[in-house]
């Protein structure tokens, strides 16, 4: 019970930290932050708790497998919310498609408009390799180590996904793409 409370407190403390900045005009609407950004951040915070929970299970490799599965799902959902999945980009007119590829190149993200594969996710996880290595090492410290491992898992997942959200928001703003959900409502 104490371990669970420590993990939840660490995760909630991380959740209330300031998120990575989005440019002054990026993702802004007249009503404030782009609703897609806020929606994706809420989704990431919820799913990152799953990653943290998997870190508590003392089965070697389970946490990495869970991180890969959660990231594959999250990255695809984020792309979809911004209208930037592979299928959505292929459906654009040839001019808009060329502009989309130029915007993706400018942003430098290999995750936008791509099929999200296990190999791609593992490559992304290497960007937060220090945190993941620390997470693996802290698991061997009784109780406090598992709590720290869960907090590191949460923060690493959140960092990777928030970077992707920011990249998607930049590309969507360059293309002036409306939300796929708002387009369906019209």
The pLDDT tens digits of the residues spanning 74-109 come to: 999 999 999 998 898 889 888 888 888 888 888 877
In terms of pLDDT, which residue wins out, 70 or 6?
70
Least confident of 54-68, 105-119, 125-139, 154-168: 125-139
Would you say how long the chain is, in residues?
186
Please give the tally of structural domains in the chain: 1
Write down the pTM of the prediction.
0.71
* In-domain check, residue 69: yes
What does the alpha-carbon distance between residue 54 and residue 35 come to, in Å, rounded to a whole number?
29
- Whether residue 63 is predicted with pLDDT greater than 70 in this model: the reply is yes
* In-domain check, residue 28: no
- Whether residue 49 is predicted with pLDDT greater than 80 in this model: the reply is yes
* In-domain check, residue 54: yes
Pick the most confident of 23-27, 104-108, 113-117, 131-135: 104-108
* In-domain check, residue 42: yes
Q: Give the residue from 172, 175, 180, 177 showing the smallest Cα distance to 22.
A: 172
Helix (H, G, I), strand (E, B) or coil at 112: coil
* In-domain check, residue 53: yes
Range of the domain at 146: 34-177
* In-domain check, residue 22: no
* In-domain check, residue 130: yes
* In-domain check, residue 159: yes
């Amino acid at each position: 019970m104490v371990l669970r409370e420590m993990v939840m407190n660490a995760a909630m403390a991380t959740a209330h930290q300031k998120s990575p900045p989005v440019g002054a005009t990026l993702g802004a609407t007249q009503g404030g932050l782009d609703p897609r950004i806020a929606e994706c951040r809420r989704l990431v915070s919820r799913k990152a708790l799953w990653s943290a929970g998997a870190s508590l299970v003392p089965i070697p490799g389970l946490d990495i497998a869970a991180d890969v599965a959660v990231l594959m799902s999250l990255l695809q959902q984020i792309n979809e919310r911004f209208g930037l999945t592979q299928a959505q980009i292929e459906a654009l007119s040839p001019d808009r498609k060329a502009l989309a590829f130029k915007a993706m190149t400018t942003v430098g993200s290999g995750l936008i408009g791509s099929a999200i594969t296990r190999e791609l996710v593992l490559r992304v996880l290497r960007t937060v390799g220090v945190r993941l290595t620390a997470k693996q090492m802290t698991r061997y410290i009784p109780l406090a180590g598992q709590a720290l491992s869960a907090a590191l898992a949460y923060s690493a997942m959140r960092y990777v996904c928030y970077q992707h959200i920011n990249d998607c928001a930049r590309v969507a703003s360059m293309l002036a793409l409306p939300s796929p959900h708002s387009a369906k409502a019209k």
